[in-house]
Amino acid sequence: MSESDAVLIKPKDYKTSVKPIWCPGCGDFAVLSAITKALAWMKLAKEEVALISGIGCSSRLPAYVDSYGFHGIHGRVLPLAAGLKVVRPELTVIAAGGDGDGYSIGGNHFMHACRRNIDMTYIVMDNRVYGMTKGQASPTTAADWDKSKLTPHGTGVPPFQPLSIALAAGAGFIARGFSGDPNQMSKLIVEAIEYPGFALIEVLSPCPTFRPEQKEWKHQVRQAEDIPLHDPVQAAEWLAADDGMSSGLIYHRAHPVWQALHEVGSTLADIEQEFRI
Amino acid sequence: MTVPHIQSVEEFIVHAHALKCESEEQLEMCADSLRAHNNPEAATVFRTLSQMIGETIQELEAMAEGRELPQVPPWDFHWQLVDDPQCMDEVHYLINERKALELAQLNEQRALKYFQDTAEVVTDQAVKELAQRLHDHEQRFFQYIEQRLQQLEEDVAHHDDLDPPNMPE
Ligand SMILES: Cc1ncc(C[n+]2csc(CCOP(=O)(O)OP(=O)(O)O)c2C)c(N)n1
Ligand code: SF4
């Protein structure tokens, strides 16, 4: 982008006229704001961007962003986004959803997306609860959270550690953002889009309705200073020592990007040719 | 707070525009969300206030026409150094008009302070005058809220939520 240009940046231009139905105070509003800021800053054409989601409150995002969008099925955001990127490599593909969508029903896809390293951005709005289905524990919920009728004594299971798992599975871009700081988040989104490969942004996005105590996150989240790390062993140690409240780009390392062997536009016959014996 | 020095009117327009767009967006989000949650009274408060901010945005956009503007990324705006009260996460679906006005007031403190501080510290006369003018806009916004608050009855305490979203065991 040139140093000087004659236009003002208007993130609002990247919003649709569909009004969000999120609860007042939901952290997902800030994620919407950060995405539109990032797209506006990068001056991406709307038809060059595709926002893909699964199911959940957070997964409603594509309806609110004026780009291509697909509101998929629960847990399948990553295979949908991967399929799209493979056949339309020129698109900027952003996958988005919740911790339930991505780490529970979609957990297996998550690990393999990290490992496969297709060039796309994955934003997970982690509120440590299933918001849409009225407040059940998710994989990232603390073991002793006992506010859901389904787990009256807590889950008793240690929470899933998405960033450590992403690192172990081979992801090369791992970041944590916070809804209380959408401008900082927009920077992470720009960096993630620019990163050639699978870029994970875990966003601490409070659900004030079912986890009102998360309003306290604004006093707990801090920007980490000793990052990004480039060595996986150091990053693993850093993540193991972190309390989950440090934000910023944590790990950055180049890995070979997965691309389809066949040219876009290949026919089924071309592909079958290879399998003929 | 120390406001970093603004070097030119162009730079200040970019900062002020982004700040007002952010305020407008926050108020609009509250309005949309309260509308969706069947609280038209509070939604109207936020909508009216966001429209007032929209007028300032239009003025800044008109001023920007034909100028060579610096490009400042969203994460580099100076006004982020001002303590952000982050009041919007206090919006509840049952808030009344009074509470909505008070939250909007809190939301706008950042702009008020940023324009005031800039008007005080900058040396460039044109920037100083624009900062002063925007500060005057802010004051009118606050006066309007004050008037509305006076017209309302004394605070009827926050409604009790008779159908809470989550019932602890
Ligand atoms: C196959 C399938 N299983 C279960 C559901 C019910 N369901 C809808 S959303 C959801 C979880 C949402 O949680 P999360 O992804 O964390 O999103 P949030 O609503 O918190 O943003 C579940 C289990 C479904 N829609 N489809
Ligand atoms: S239930 Fe929670 S996650 Fe869903 S919209 Fe409401 S606050 Fe957001």
| Residues A135, B70: C-beta atoms closer than 8 Å | no
Biggest distance spanned by C-alpha atoms of chain A: 64
Residue A4: what pLDDT? Answer: 45
A18 at interface of B, judged by CB pairs closer than 8 A: no
User: Which H or E run contains B70?
Assistant: strand B69-70
Q: Is the pLDDT of residue B81 over 80?
A: no
Q: Is the pLDDT of residue A2 over 50?
A: no
Residue spans of beta strands (DSSP E) within chain A: 4-5, 49-53, 68-71, 92-98, 120-126, 173-178, 198-204, 222-223, 246-252
Q: Give me chain A's average pLDDT, please.
A: 94
* Whether the CB of A71 sits within 6 Å of ligand 1: no
* Whether the CB of A59 sits within 6 Å of ligand 2: no
Taking the C-alpha atoms of residue A65 and residue A171, their distance in angstroms, rounded to an integer, is: 26
DSSP per position, A161-190: -HHHHHHHTT-SEEEEEETT-HHHHHHHHH
Q: What is the pTM of this model?
A: 0.95
Residue B88: what pLDDT? Answer: 72
Q: Do the Cβ atoms of A36 and A187 come closer than 8 Å?
A: no
Residue B87: what pLDDT? Answer: 59
Q: A61, A109, A130: which to mutate for ligand 1, most atoms within 8 A of CB?
A: A130
| Residues B29, A29: C-beta atoms closer than 8 Å | yes
Q: What CA–CA distances, in Å, run from B15 to A33, A188, B9, B20, B74?
A: 17, 21, 10, 9, 9
**What confidence tens digit (pLDDT) does each residue in A135-179 have?**
999 999 999 999 998 999 999 999 999 999 999 999 999 999 999
- State the residue for tokens 């969008």: A69
Specify the range with the lowest mean pLDDT, choosing from A22-31, A258-267, B108-117: A258-267
Q: At what angle do helices B9-36 and A28-42 cross, to 10 degrees?
A: 140
Say which residues have a Cβ less than 8 Å from residue A167's Cβ, sequence separation at least 6: A174, A232, A235, A236, A239, A251
Say which residues have a Cβ less than 8 Å from residue B8's Cβ, sequence separation at least 6: B70, B124, B127
Q: Do the Cβ atoms of A30 and A182 come closer than 8 Å?
A: yes
Say which residues have a Cβ less than 8 Å from residue A28's Cβ, sequence separation at least 6: A20, A22, A57, A58, A60, A61, A125, A179, A205
CATH class of domain segment(s) A3-273: alpha beta
Taking the C-alpha atoms of residue A235 and residue A228, their distance in angstroms, rounded to an integer, is: 9
Residue nearest to atom 20 of ligand 1 (CA): A131
A21 at interface of B, judged by CB pairs closer than 8 A: yes
Residue A263: what pLDDT? Answer: 80
| Rg from Cα positions in chain B | 18
Q: Is the pLDDT of residue B97 over 60?
A: yes
Q: Is the pLDDT of residue B82 over 50?
A: no
**What confidence tens digit (pLDDT) does each residue in B126-164 have?**
999 999 999 999 999 999 999 999 998 776 656 677 777
Residue B86's nearest CA partner among A115, A75, A28, A25 is A25
Domains and CATH numbers, chain B: 9-80+87-151 (1.20.1260.10)
Q: Is the pLDDT of residue A244 over 80?
A: yes
- Of all residues in chain A, the one with the smallest CA distance to B12 is A8
Of B66, B73, B169, the CB nearest to A146: B169
Per-residue pLDDT averaged across B86-101, rounded? 84
Shortest CA gap B115–chain A (Å) = 19
